[in-house]
Structure 1
């Protein structure tokens, strides 16, 4: 039996826009722990994300071991130093070095998200010509988790300055899993509607018109 379509009123639409504007990539975290029930709720909501063929290829790994957390942080610090060398312009180099690019030591929760490239669910539907759709599905789950976290006042930081193969080896996961994201999760120390990179003059949001085309 079909169900009537759910309708969302103008107040909900406005609240949703506000949520999108306040979803920030967080790098500065307060010491407050994230309740275990909140983590369980966030992961359950992330699993409601759409996925190609309903394959649900996301695999979540919570990093609970202090030594492993420190190893990840040290690896990202090393990769950060290497990335800084790529900026020949001294002003841009200095600006880069001044950025705080991860909270792996401060965030109360560290979550790695992997894609099972051979997920049995979905029966390979929709990926014959675009196998990368499995990874895109995992990104959709991350965005869903991100918004669900922000509703609860919890922040998320996506760490991308890393070597995926090194991190995958550290976390000792099956070889068919590919790393999609290393996430820091916790309460923001400095909540703001304005992205930190924009606050620090690194890059502001550019007009949508420059990125919209018609054919």
Structure 2
């Protein structure tokens, strides 16, 4: 893997074959909830994926992402309990056929995923000296999300799947992970592992929850 250099050089040749592969990568990057139980992901691979995630752009070069590998079984159990409570509350918002469909969905792979990764944004970081944040301080969070997406794409390129668990109480999760840094905000909780099946169609689309819209349907011109 190439690394940044202080001196300009010759950029890689991103040819048509690469561009097609990139399109395939984007199409096959799916939210994974079904993992091959009992098959670990090598620590060296996770370390490499985190290195690639840290190549993400960030406002003012602030690099606010903070990665927490959740390895303790007790802490994982608390996250699972957090999800189950939040999921039960979410179910109460739906009625009729939609409630029945929601109840049938598998919305997290927390029990089978060999790797749990929490991603926080350090909203108090001095790095970057505030550049680009005065009018849009949320750019710090967006920068951390870019790192999440970079990790996700890199993982997919190595055959590893990710699932983003957003049905959580973030404050409770932060406490359960013993994160005491005052300015750290939970941005993502990821399940990471080898997918039980491969598909380029979102599971929620297959289950009839929602369908993807083409980009043309959300483009405005002014």
Shorter-normalised TM-score: what interval?
A: over 0.9
Match of 1:86 in 2: 93
Q: 2:140 aligns with which of 126, 134, 137?
A: 134
What's the offset of the Cα at 1:172? 1.6
Q: Matches of 1:35 and 1:2 in 2, distance apart?
A: 34
Match of 1:72 in 2: 79
Q: 2:117 aligns with which of 111, 114, 126?
A: 111
TM-score, L = length of structure 1: 0.97
What's the offset of the Cα at 1:207? 2.3
Instruction: Please give the root-mean-square deviation of Cα atoms over the aligned residues, in Å.
Output: 0.9
Gaps of 5+ in 2: 1-6
Q: Matches of 1:2 and 1:27 in 2, distance apart?
A: 42
Q: Matches of 1:168 and 1:203 in 2, distance apart?
A: 30
Q: Does 1:199 align with 2:206?
A: yes
Q: Does 1:18 align with 2:27?
A: no
Q: Matches of 1:188 and 1:55 in 2, distance apart?
A: 33
Gaps of 5+ in 1: none
Provide Cα deviations, 1:149-193, integer angstroms capped at 9, x if missing partner. Answer: 000100000000011111111112112100100100000011111
Q: Does 1:51 align with 2:58?
A: yes
Match of 1:121 in 2: 127
What SS class does the counterpart of residue 192 from structure 1 fall into? coil
Match of 2:3 in 1: none
TM-score, L = length of structure 2: 0.94
What's the offset of the Cα at 1:7? 2.9
Q: 2:12 aligns with which of 6, 12, 23?
A: 6
What's the offset of the Cα at 1:209? 1.8
